Amino acid sequence: IQVTGGGSGTGIAALINGTTDLANASRRIKSEEKVAAEGAKRTPVEIPVAMDALSIVVNKQNPVATLDLIQIGKIYTGYVNNWKQVGGPDHAIIRYSRESSSGTYGFIKDEVLKGRDYAPDCQTMPGTSAVAEAVARDPWGIGYGGVSYFAKAAGLKILSIKKTASGPAVSPLASSGGPEFKVVYDGSYGLSRYLYVYSPGPPKGDPKAFLDWVLGPEGQKIVQEVDYIPMPGK
Protein backbone atom coordinates (compact mmCIF):
# COMPACT_ATOMS: atom_id res chain seq x y z
CA ILE A 1 0.00 0.00 0.00
CA GLN A 2 1.39 3.39 -1.01
CA VAL A 3 -0.08 6.55 0.51
CA THR A 4 0.52 10.03 -0.91
CA GLY A 5 -0.71 13.36 0.49
CA GLY A 6 -1.30 16.70 -1.17
CA GLY A 7 -4.95 17.59 -0.58
CA SER A 8 -8.35 16.39 -1.74
CA GLY A 9 -7.98 17.91 -5.20
CA THR A 10 -4.69 16.09 -5.73
CA GLY A 11 -6.25 12.78 -4.70
CA ILE A 12 -9.29 13.19 -6.94
CA ALA A 13 -7.02 14.16 -9.86
CA ALA A 14 -5.07 10.94 -9.28
CA LEU A 15 -8.33 8.99 -9.28
CA ILE A 16 -9.29 10.55 -12.62
CA ASN A 17 -5.94 9.87 -14.29
CA GLY A 18 -5.73 6.32 -12.99
CA THR A 19 -2.73 6.62 -10.67
CA THR A 20 -4.59 5.68 -7.48
CA ASP A 21 -7.12 3.05 -6.49
CA LEU A 22 -8.80 5.18 -3.82
CA ALA A 23 -8.85 8.94 -3.15
CA ASN A 24 -9.47 10.42 0.29
CA ALA A 25 -11.30 13.75 0.34
CA SER A 26 -12.45 16.14 3.04
CA ARG A 27 -14.98 17.65 0.61
CA ARG A 28 -17.44 16.29 -1.93
CA ILE A 29 -16.26 15.82 -5.49
CA LYS A 30 -16.91 18.84 -7.73
CA SER A 31 -19.22 18.53 -10.73
CA GLU A 32 -16.38 19.19 -13.19
CA GLU A 33 -14.23 16.52 -11.51
CA LYS A 34 -17.09 14.05 -11.74
CA VAL A 35 -17.53 14.80 -15.46
CA ALA A 36 -13.78 14.34 -16.04
CA ALA A 37 -13.78 11.04 -14.15
CA GLU A 38 -16.77 9.75 -16.12
CA GLY A 39 -15.04 10.82 -19.35
CA ALA A 40 -12.02 8.73 -18.30
CA LYS A 41 -14.38 5.78 -17.63
CA ARG A 42 -13.57 5.99 -13.90
CA THR A 43 -17.03 6.93 -12.60
CA PRO A 44 -16.52 7.97 -8.97
CA VAL A 45 -18.35 6.20 -6.16
CA GLU A 46 -18.57 8.20 -2.92
CA ILE A 47 -18.08 6.38 0.40
CA PRO A 48 -18.43 8.46 3.62
CA VAL A 49 -16.03 6.93 6.16
CA ALA A 50 -15.90 9.38 9.10
CA MET A 51 -17.02 12.79 10.32
CA ASP A 52 -15.02 15.83 11.38
CA ALA A 53 -15.47 19.02 13.34
CA LEU A 54 -13.58 21.58 11.31
CA SER A 55 -12.15 24.02 13.85
CA ILE A 56 -11.09 27.65 13.99
CA VAL A 57 -7.99 28.08 16.10
CA VAL A 58 -6.12 31.03 17.64
CA ASN A 59 -3.09 31.37 19.87
CA LYS A 60 -3.73 30.54 23.53
CA GLN A 61 -2.73 34.10 24.50
CA ASN A 62 -5.56 35.58 22.41
CA PRO A 63 -8.54 36.49 24.64
CA VAL A 64 -11.07 35.91 21.83
CA ALA A 65 -12.95 32.68 22.59
CA THR A 66 -15.97 32.81 20.25
CA LEU A 67 -16.65 33.88 16.67
CA ASP A 68 -19.71 33.51 14.48
CA LEU A 69 -19.58 32.21 10.91
CA ILE A 70 -20.09 35.68 9.41
CA GLN A 71 -17.16 37.07 11.41
CA ILE A 72 -14.95 34.19 10.26
CA GLY A 73 -15.97 34.83 6.67
CA LYS A 74 -15.17 38.53 7.02
CA ILE A 75 -11.76 37.76 8.55
CA TYR A 76 -10.75 35.38 5.78
CA THR A 77 -12.01 37.61 2.96
CA GLY A 78 -10.24 40.67 4.39
CA TYR A 79 -13.24 42.71 5.52
CA VAL A 80 -12.19 42.36 9.18
CA ASN A 81 -8.48 42.97 9.74
CA ASN A 82 -8.07 43.82 13.43
CA TRP A 83 -8.88 41.71 16.46
CA LYS A 84 -10.64 44.67 18.11
CA GLN A 85 -13.37 44.39 15.44
CA VAL A 86 -14.39 41.00 16.90
CA GLY A 87 -13.96 41.80 20.61
CA GLY A 88 -10.22 41.30 20.93
CA PRO A 89 -7.21 43.58 21.43
CA ASP A 90 -6.10 46.28 18.98
CA HIS A 91 -3.78 44.25 16.77
CA ALA A 92 -3.76 43.16 13.14
CA ILE A 93 -5.11 39.67 12.41
CA ILE A 94 -2.57 37.31 10.81
CA ARG A 95 -4.44 34.84 8.59
CA TYR A 96 -3.17 31.31 7.99
CA SER A 97 -4.81 29.14 5.33
CA ARG A 98 -4.45 25.82 3.53
CA GLU A 99 -3.36 25.57 -0.11
CA SER A 100 -6.03 25.66 -2.83
CA SER A 101 -5.80 21.89 -3.52
CA SER A 102 -6.95 21.22 0.05
CA GLY A 103 -10.50 20.02 0.60
CA THR A 104 -10.55 21.99 3.85
CA TYR A 105 -9.66 25.17 1.91
CA GLY A 106 -12.56 24.42 -0.44
CA PHE A 107 -14.97 23.66 2.41
CA ILE A 108 -14.23 27.00 4.13
CA LYS A 109 -14.50 28.87 0.82
CA ASP A 110 -17.86 27.28 -0.02
CA GLU A 111 -19.50 27.11 3.41
CA VAL A 112 -18.07 30.14 5.23
CA LEU A 113 -16.76 32.55 2.58
CA LYS A 114 -19.81 31.73 0.40
CA GLY A 115 -17.65 31.44 -2.70
CA ARG A 116 -15.75 34.70 -2.18
CA ASP A 117 -11.98 34.81 -2.57
CA TYR A 118 -9.62 34.56 0.36
CA ALA A 119 -7.82 37.77 1.35
CA PRO A 120 -4.57 38.08 -0.65
CA ASP A 121 -2.44 38.29 2.51
CA CYS A 122 -3.49 34.82 3.75
CA GLN A 123 -0.35 32.82 4.46
CA THR A 124 -0.71 29.47 2.69
CA MET A 125 0.47 26.46 4.66
CA PRO A 126 1.21 23.00 3.20
CA GLY A 127 -0.84 21.10 5.76
CA THR A 128 -2.96 21.46 8.89
CA SER A 129 -0.01 20.53 11.13
CA ALA A 130 1.84 23.51 9.65
CA VAL A 131 -1.19 25.73 10.42
CA ALA A 132 -1.12 24.50 14.04
CA GLU A 133 2.60 25.21 14.37
CA ALA A 134 2.28 28.70 12.84
CA VAL A 135 -0.63 29.79 15.06
CA ALA A 136 1.04 28.35 18.17
CA ARG A 137 4.02 30.66 17.46
CA ASP A 138 1.95 33.71 16.48
CA PRO A 139 -0.07 35.47 19.24
CA TRP A 140 -2.20 37.21 16.59
CA GLY A 141 -2.68 34.32 14.18
CA ILE A 142 -5.85 32.50 13.17
CA GLY A 143 -6.09 29.20 11.34
CA TYR A 144 -8.50 26.39 10.50
CA GLY A 145 -8.44 22.63 10.13
CA GLY A 146 -9.79 19.36 11.48
CA VAL A 147 -10.19 19.27 15.25
CA SER A 148 -7.90 16.23 15.43
CA TYR A 149 -4.87 18.40 14.57
CA PHE A 150 -5.60 20.95 17.29
CA ALA A 151 -7.34 19.14 20.15
CA LYS A 152 -4.19 18.29 22.10
CA ALA A 153 -1.75 20.85 20.62
CA ALA A 154 0.02 23.09 23.11
CA GLY A 155 -0.26 26.85 22.65
CA LEU A 156 -3.58 26.77 20.78
CA LYS A 157 -7.20 27.63 21.58
CA ILE A 158 -10.07 26.09 19.64
CA LEU A 159 -12.87 28.65 19.35
CA SER A 160 -16.53 28.07 20.06
CA ILE A 161 -18.59 28.86 16.95
CA LYS A 162 -21.96 30.56 16.54
CA LYS A 163 -23.96 29.80 13.41
CA THR A 164 -25.47 33.31 13.64
CA ALA A 165 -24.53 36.42 15.62
CA SER A 166 -27.38 35.79 18.08
CA GLY A 167 -27.10 31.99 18.19
CA PRO A 168 -25.51 29.85 20.89
CA ALA A 169 -21.73 29.40 20.97
CA VAL A 170 -20.93 25.72 20.45
CA SER A 171 -17.55 24.14 21.12
CA PRO A 172 -16.44 21.09 19.11
CA LEU A 173 -14.58 19.81 22.18
CA ALA A 174 -15.81 17.38 24.81
CA SER A 175 -14.71 17.60 28.45
CA SER A 176 -12.16 14.85 27.68
CA GLY A 177 -10.37 17.21 25.29
CA GLY A 178 -11.34 15.21 22.19
CA PRO A 179 -14.16 16.03 19.77
CA GLU A 180 -17.76 16.16 21.00
CA PHE A 181 -19.67 13.64 18.89
CA LYS A 182 -23.18 14.90 19.74
CA VAL A 183 -22.76 18.42 18.33
CA VAL A 184 -21.41 16.97 15.09
CA TYR A 185 -24.14 14.33 14.74
CA ASP A 186 -26.98 16.76 15.44
CA GLY A 187 -25.50 19.57 13.32
CA SER A 188 -25.51 22.14 16.13
CA TYR A 189 -21.79 22.74 15.57
CA GLY A 190 -21.58 25.01 12.52
CA LEU A 191 -18.55 23.43 10.84
CA SER A 192 -19.43 19.73 10.88
CA ARG A 193 -18.59 17.69 7.78
CA TYR A 194 -18.19 14.19 6.40
CA LEU A 195 -14.89 12.75 5.23
CA TYR A 196 -14.96 10.62 2.08
CA VAL A 197 -13.17 7.98 0.09
CA TYR A 198 -13.79 7.93 -3.68
CA SER A 199 -13.45 4.78 -5.74
CA PRO A 200 -13.36 4.58 -9.57
CA GLY A 201 -16.50 2.48 -9.87
CA PRO A 202 -17.84 0.13 -7.19
CA PRO A 203 -14.87 -1.02 -5.08
CA LYS A 204 -13.73 -4.60 -5.64
CA GLY A 205 -10.98 -6.87 -4.36
CA ASP A 206 -8.42 -5.38 -2.00
CA PRO A 207 -9.86 -1.83 -2.10
CA LYS A 208 -13.28 -3.21 -1.10
CA ALA A 209 -11.74 -5.28 1.69
CA PHE A 210 -9.92 -2.18 2.95
CA LEU A 211 -13.08 -0.05 2.91
CA ASP A 212 -15.07 -2.80 4.66
CA TRP A 213 -12.38 -2.77 7.37
CA VAL A 214 -12.44 1.06 7.62
CA LEU A 215 -16.23 1.01 8.11
CA GLY A 216 -16.09 -1.97 10.47
CA PRO A 217 -15.54 -1.92 14.24
CA GLU A 218 -11.73 -1.90 14.08
CA GLY A 219 -11.47 0.90 11.53
CA GLN A 220 -14.08 3.06 13.25
CA LYS A 221 -12.31 2.56 16.58
CA ILE A 222 -9.14 3.98 14.99
CA VAL A 223 -11.17 6.92 13.62
CA GLN A 224 -12.13 7.73 17.22
CA GLU A 225 -8.62 7.15 18.61
CA VAL A 226 -7.15 9.79 16.27
CA ASP A 227 -9.81 12.38 17.24
CA TYR A 228 -12.11 12.10 14.26
CA ILE A 229 -15.75 11.15 14.66
CA PRO A 230 -16.99 7.68 13.74
CA MET A 231 -19.87 7.34 11.33
CA PRO A 232 -23.28 7.58 13.04
CA GLY A 233 -24.36 4.18 14.31
CA LYS A 234 -20.86 2.70 14.08
Q: What is the DSSP string of the chain?
A: -----S-HHHHHHHHHHTS-S-EEESSPPPHHHHHHHHHTT--EEEEEEEEEEEEEEEETT----EEEHHHHHHHHHTS--BGGGGTS-SSB-EEEEE-TT-HHHHHHHHHTSTTPPPPTT-EEESSHHHHHHHHHH-TTEEEEEEHHHHTT-TTEEEPEEESSTTSPPB-SB-TTSSB-HHHHHTS-STTEEEEEEEEESS--HHHHHHHHHHHSHHHHHHHHHTT-BPPTT-
56-75 pLDDT tens trace? 999 999 999 999 999 999 99
pLDDT tens column, 12-53: 999 999 999 999 999 999 999 999 999 999 999 999 999 999
Mean confidence (pLDDT) of the chain: 95
